[in-house]
Chains A and B, each alone.
Chain A
């Protein structure tokens, strides 16, 4: 085993041997390269440790759902579940459609028209996620007898966000309109969500 004195004298010699004209030791390169490579290795190991937290394949393998909307009368709505999240399918009354179209876009926090949130010719079918854009509660207003809020759409009881008849945020802490999922009418009465 080398003593401290021996180790020191060894360092001295190696300095003399490898110190270049520019004052850079050739061994420095080996040190930096070795530590860098170890860093790459650590990052490579950390990647799966971090990535395992992301949604797994069975969670990502999300089937689209088909919803039969024939039984929903104007003014009614149903709640269904998609990607483990609630979806509201609402048949707006002509009065509700008119009310949504009447609003000046400039006055909205997240400006969008009803037409942009529905399919052409099917403006009365409002399909949104039932997830408040504030902190993810399920707003009230889809089921009969629930509070619809000050703007006749949906009301989130958690922190008091009010949505209008186009599912747009009008009052309260939520920053965005209720999200409209990707959807298409397969026939007049069946909607495919996702």
Chain B
């Protein structure tokens, strides 16, 4: 669907016309990311991050396919094959560093994309399906990133696999058999490494498929915008191309500057040095930490230290960690305020900037710090706030808040003049 004033695809070249009549793929692209997609005229730079996430996925798939040509998944050889890529394969160091940091940058842009959605209420009707598919993509990304981190078979790879698959053994009765089924053994070993490699290759294409659904669902109501007011007339929109291809192009340039800076000058900044030690099943690193993008969730996992109502602390931690993501599926129905954008919600805005954001930063810090002393308590408090924010504060704020007056239209918000009829 699109707005009635959307430009129609008119093939310039007879060849394109010939193709379009037989397989309307050029038309499909034109209507999706070309001149045929009318977009609100007032998007700010936070609206660049969806396209940037798509670019990051493509970078990961391309570098990943090439790395797979040189890597082999064997407990005796995986670590050495990664070193072979780093030292011997022509330009291999660049491809691996790009893939390693590409994962981090993928998460950076996706986190900004998610927080854009949280602040501007992009998850609200009629865009719930876009949000739900986005949470699915996020879960798939986490699984893919975890399995990719295991592949070099360094100390953090091995012990990360041990800890993460240990989550499943927390499930009563079926937990331990389930863990052995997932690993194909009693501890992470050849069978686990091989299947993680297989799935790490598969899942990005599953992500790509869900991304296509995500964009498809987006094109039904069209993009949201910083005012949260729906598009009403033609003067509220501009065609995606050239307006937003240009704006996204600028954002992409900025993204690539930061990405290449880190890849070339600080490639190991976001990694952990222990992963350059080959995996040793008999020695746990003094301090196991996941990659930075998992820190907040790791803090929630570790926040439970005592049993509660006969539920073991370990199971509670695992339930809370998965719950912290699962509750995002319910967000469109927890926040009942009819106003989408945080810009017009004074109370919501305060809880967002002074509640949710600091809470997640504190959780991230607790996730990287050793689980002792004040970090446990701090993690527990921040974890409790995280759940309270979504399950208690948001529903109450939605009911009691007096929102500010919305502009009559996007055009009026931008020009100060009512839209010409």
Residues of A that sit less than 8 Å from B by CB = 53-56, 59, 79, 81, 83-86, 109, 130-131, 134-140, 156-160, 172-175
Q: Is the CB of B371 closer than 8 A to any CB of chain A?
A: yes
The reply to whether A109 and B181 contact each other, CB–CB distance below 8 Å, is no
Partner of B182, one of A53, A85, A136, A139: A53
The reply to whether B163 and A53 contact each other, CB–CB distance below 8 Å, is no
The reply to whether B317 and A84 contact each other, CB–CB distance below 8 Å, is no
> A41 → chain B, closest Cβ, in Å?
23
Q: Which residues of chain A are near B159, meaning CB under 8 Å?
A: 137, 158
Partner of B162, one of A135, A140, A172: A135
> A162 → chain B, closest Cβ, in Å?
11
The reply to whether B371 and A160 contact each other, CB–CB distance below 8 Å, is yes
Q: Which residues of chain A are near B372, meaning CB under 8 Å?
A: 160
The reply to whether B187 and A134 contact each other, CB–CB distance below 8 Å, is no
Given contacts A56-B191, A173-B302, contact A85 B281 (CB under 8 A): yes
The reply to whether B189 and A159 contact each other, CB–CB distance below 8 Å, is no
Q: Is the CB of B305 closer than 8 A to any CB of chain A?
A: yes
Most buried by B among A85, A136, A157: A136
Q: Chain B: which residue is nearest A176 at the CB level?
A: B312
The reply to whether A158 and B284 contact each other, CB–CB distance below 8 Å, is yes
The reply to whether B302 and A136 contact each other, CB–CB distance below 8 Å, is no
Partner of A159, one of B285, B286, B371: B371
CA gap between A158 and B182 in the complex, in Å:
22
Q: Which residues of chain B are near A55, meaning CB under 8 Å?
A: 180, 183-186, 191
Given contacts A81-B281, A157-B284, contact A109 B307 (CB under 8 A): yes
A-B contact pairs, 19 of them (CB 8 A): A53-B181, A53-B182, A55-B184, A55-B185, A55-B186, A55-B191, A56-B184, A59-B184, A59-B191, A85-B186, A134-B166, A134-B314, A135-B167, A158-B159, A158-B371, A160-B372, A160-B376, A173-B314, A174-B314
Q: Which residues of chain B are near A160, meaning CB under 8 Å?
A: 370-372, 376
- Chain B's interface size range is 35 or more
Q: Is the CB of B195 closer than 8 A to any CB of chain A?
A: yes
Q: Is the CB of B313 closer than 8 A to any CB of chain A?
A: yes
> A65 → chain B, closest Cβ, in Å?
14
Partner of A175, one of B191, B195, B312, B370: B312
CA gap between A186 and B165 in the complex, in Å:
35
The reply to whether B282 and A86 contact each other, CB–CB distance below 8 Å, is yes
Digitize B354-396: 1 where CB-to-A-CB distance is under 8 Å, 0 elsewhere: 0000000000000000111000100000000000000000000
Q: Which residues of chain A are near B281, meaning CB under 8 Å?
A: 81, 84-86
> B174 → chain A, closest Cβ, in Å?
13
> B370 → chain A, closest Cβ, in Å?
7
Residues of B that sit less than 8 Å from A by CB = 159, 162-163, 165-167, 169, 180-187, 189, 191, 195, 281-288, 302, 304-305, 307, 312-315, 317, 370-372, 376
The reply to whether A84 and B195 contact each other, CB–CB distance below 8 Å, is no
The reply to whether A136 and B163 contact each other, CB–CB distance below 8 Å, is yes
Q: Which residues of chain A are near B288, meaning CB under 8 Å?
A: 137, 157-158
CA gap between A139 and B51 in the complex, in Å:
45
The reply to whether A84 and B305 contact each other, CB–CB distance below 8 Å, is no
Partner of B184, one of A54, A173, A175: A54
User: What's the dominant secondary structure at chain A's contact region?
Assistant: loop
Q: Chain B: which residue is nearest A50 at the CB level?
A: B181
The reply to whether B284 and A138 contact each other, CB–CB distance below 8 Å, is yes
Given contacts A53-B181, A134-B314, A160-B370, contact A59 B287 (CB under 8 A): no
The reply to whether B166 and A136 contact each other, CB–CB distance below 8 Å, is yes
CA gap between A144 and B245 in the complex, in Å:
63
CA gap between A102 and B182 in the complex, in Å:
41
> A110 → chain B, closest Cβ, in Å?
10
CA gap between A160 and B286 in the complex, in Å:
11
> A129 → chain B, closest Cβ, in Å?
10
Most buried by A among B169, B181, B284, B287: B284
CA gap between A159 and B370 in the complex, in Å:
8
CA gap between A20 and B397 in the complex, in Å:
61
CA gap between A55 and B195 in the complex, in Å:
12
CA gap between A150 and B159 in the complex, in Å:
24
Given contacts A54-B184, A158-B288, A173-B305, contact A81 B282 (CB under 8 A): yes
Q: Which residues of chain A are near B283, meaning CB under 8 Å?
A: 138
> B155 → chain A, closest Cβ, in Å?
11
Q: Chain A: which residue is nearest B183 at the CB level?
A: A55
Q: Which residues of chain A are near B185, meaning CB under 8 Å?
A: 55, 59, 84
The reply to whether A84 and B314 contact each other, CB–CB distance below 8 Å, is no
CA gap between A157 and B312 in the complex, in Å:
19
Q: Which residues of chain A are near B166, meaning CB under 8 Å?
A: 134-136
The reply to whether B195 and A172 contact each other, CB–CB distance below 8 Å, is no
Given contacts A59-B189, A158-B288, contact A53 B184 (CB under 8 A): yes
Q: Chain A: which residue is nearest B182 at the CB level?
A: A53
Q: Chain A: which residue is nearest B305 at the CB level?
A: A173
CA gap between A191 and B166 in the complex, in Å:
29
CA gap between A53 and B177 in the complex, in Å:
11
The 9 closest A-B CB pairs, nearest first, are: A135-B166, A175-B312, A138-B284, A136-B166, A137-B284, A135-B163, A136-B162, A160-B371, A84-B187
Q: Which residues of chain B are near A56, meaning CB under 8 Å?
A: 184, 191
> B6 → chain A, closest Cβ, in Å?
35
CA gap between A134 and B314 in the complex, in Å:
6
CA gap between A108 and B368 in the complex, in Å:
30
> A51 → chain B, closest Cβ, in Å?
9
> B126 → chain A, closest Cβ, in Å?
36
Most buried by A among B165, B184, B315: B184
